[in-house]
Amino acid sequence: MLAEHDLNAPPVVAVGELKLGPFVLENFTFTEAVNHAPDLYEHVQAFAKSSSHLERRSFIEQLGETIGRMHATNISHGDLRPGNVLARKTDDRWQFFFLDNERTRKYMRIPRKLILKNLVQINMLHSDVLSSTDRMRFFKAYLRSNPKLVPERKLIARKSAQRTAERLNKKKHK
């Protein structure tokens, strides 16, 4: 499904079940490794050590465009945490690979609550390295790839920021 829309996921090698008698305890999927593609957390840490703000800007904008394209094609990722997105640079373009796609779905029309959920999940990439300008840059790139949401941009931005702040606050107090 993702590949049909020029979105990347590692190729599946095997799928299986862990059973105890007739009961399925767990399902699992094995995929090929994606070489030289750390997750988003690792990239942000690397940006903290690097002085290249142009590289960070390119990364953020292309990530926004990619997720915007995913939502524009009515696909919602089941768990869009930064640890479930790998990235590598090829020439001057970033490639993003989506992991844990068991709950990733394509809809006739993606529900707004799932758009917000994905935006909050990816916004949990909280770091002093990423400024509010970087977050706005991501959102503008997202909207360029998903222009049907432009009329709702202020509401989506506000709700996404509010829900992210609530989640970060809960995480801080655990």
Q: What is the pLDDT of residue 50?
A: 80
Domains of the chain: 35-172 (1.10.510)
Q: How far is CA 122 from CA 50, 83, 170, in A?
A: 22, 9, 16
Question: Can you give the pLDDT at residue 52?
Answer: 83
DSSP bridge pairs for 19: 24
**What pLDDT, on a 0 to 100 scale, did the predictor assign at position 171?**
82
Which distant-in-sequence residues (6+ apart) come within 8 Å of 69 by Cβ? Answer: 5, 6, 7, 145, 146
What pTM did the predictor assign?
Answer: 0.91
Place of tokens 């990235």: 87
Residue whose C-alpha is closest to residue 124's, from 7, 40, 2: 40
pLDDT per residue as tens, the chain (174 positions): 999 999 999 999 999 999 999 999 998 889 999 999 999 999 999 988 886 889 999 999 999 999 999 999 999 999 999 999 999 999 999 999 999 999 999 999 999 999 999 999 999 987 788 899 999 999 999 999 999 999 999 999 999 999 999 998 888 887
